[in-house]
Structure 1
Amino acid sequence: MTYKLTLASTSSSRKALLAQIGVIFDCQSPAADESVITGEPPAQRAARLATLKANSIPSTEANHWILGSDQVATCNGKLLRKPLTKELALEQLQISRGNWVTFHTAFTLCGNGETLEHMVESRVRFRADTLDSELCRYIELDDPLYCAGSFKTESLGPLIFDQIDASDPTAIQGLPLITLARTLREIGINPLGVSS
């Protein structure tokens, strides 16, 4: 099937994840207001923003699908953001130490008059005995300043973890590839499909 897939994101990690499963796609920057709504549950925020991003880019032809995604991380009810600074990264890792961090990773596919929405929840438990000096060294080595929660599971993050609870491990990285691949197959996009 001929298709066009547009990733509504400028995230380098989401681009790399989507490329990993072999689909052909282009990228556009979404026009979505990501302001926090007071009292909005994390899962609802992730789903709302994923859909806003997907809907912000027009589908231009038949079989043109727009993929929007968003991720919200929380620890004990506190929203964890992309820290952008080493100081905030350390603060978030200190909050996470000895606790579970929950990720709600949502994606929305829009096209052919359809809107398909999915949510994957994952959890990471952090070591309780990690020293501040270790956290500072981790930040220096892994540079997680643009990662929700201030860490990377795909890199050195496991050095400060006790456990990961995830049915779709790539969800923690920002895009749940198992769930996404299943959804793409449902709409006729199969990177493993053999054309005759």
Structure 2
Amino acid sequence: MTAPLILASASPFRRELLARLRLTFSVEPADIDETAQPDEAPTDLVARLAREKAETVYTRRPGAAVIGSDQVADLDGLVLGKPGSREQAIAQLRQQAGRTVIFRTGLCLLAPDTTPQTAVINVETRFRALDDAEITRYVDLEAVTATAGSIKAEGLGISLVEHIRSDDPTALIGLPLITLCRMLRAAGYSPGADPTAIA
């Protein structure tokens, strides 16, 4: 019998993505400090935060398997996290307009009697040239203050980009399902094995 599965995230988007796999799971946010360390590279930052989120909940729930994930937008080495305000979201989108941004998503799975699994998945996102009117309209229509890089690709944000390139495209929404499925299978889980799980 596999251990209970826990998603260490308060994100409704990660919860919706994980539900696609038709596995029974619960949600328990980790509530960690997400501040970057001095000179910490974006890849190292998301890997560390995903691991710390998983470890925080794993410590509280011995015997469970825990999924941790975190995401930042990487603009030529500059980390763009959650904007936190309308004004900062507008500023982020002005920075990204006409440029290529790498959205980096860290993923960690901790499960009993298995080796910890971690990965960082990158999504190359090319933004169109955007004027202030378009940026303001988008920010007023989409709740983006808690979204890395101020883009919701699952919503109107898709209209802001020229192309998206990745081996694991759901990473852009916050949970790379192709990689996660591989990790889950290695830990003894079978996506789709619980037909009663709500998608």
Normalization by structure 2: what TM-score?
A: 0.90
Match of 1:7 in 2: 7
**2:137, 2:32 → 1: CA distance?**
35
**2:111, 2:191 → 1: CA distance?**
18
Match of 1:190 in 2: 190
Identity value in percent: 39
Change (3 A) 1:131 1:187: same
Contact 2:93 2:150 in 1 (8 A): yes
Q: CA deviation at 1:145?
A: 1.6
Q: CA deviation at 1:15?
A: 1.2
Match of 1:120 in 2: 121
Amino acid at match of 1:131: D
Whose RCO is larger (CA < 8 A, sep 6+)? 2
Contact 2:24 2:194 in 1 (8 A): no
Q: CA deviation at 1:3?
A: 2.9
Normalization by structure 1: what TM-score?
A: 0.92
Confirm or deny that 1:163 pairs with 2:160.
no
Contact 1:4 1:25 in 2 (8 A): yes
Change (3 A) 1:90 1:194: closer
Q: Deviations over 1:98-145 (max 9, x none)?
A: 1011111111111214311111111110012x2110111111122212
Once superposed, which parts of structure 1, at least 4 consecutive aligned residues long, lie more than 3 Å away?
A: none
Match of 1:60 in 2: 62
**1:151, 1:192 → 2: CA distance?**
30
**1:163, 1:2 → 2: CA distance?**
39
Match of 2:175 in 1: 175
Gaps of 5+ in 1: none
Q: CA deviation at 1:14?
A: 1.2
Q: CA deviation at 1:194?
A: 8.3
Q: CA deviation at 1:83?
A: 1.2
Change (3 A) 1:38 1:3: same
Amino acid at match of 1:78: L
**1:122, 1:135 → 2: CA distance?**
21
Q: Residue 22 of structure 2: SS of its match in structure 1? A: coil
Contact 1:54 1:67 in 2 (8 A): yes
Please give the root-mean-square deviation of Cα atoms over the aligned residues, in Å.
1.7
Gaps of 5+ in 2: none
Q: Name the count of aligned residue pairs.
A: 192
Q: CA deviation at 1:50?
A: 0.7
Amino acid at match of 2:66: I
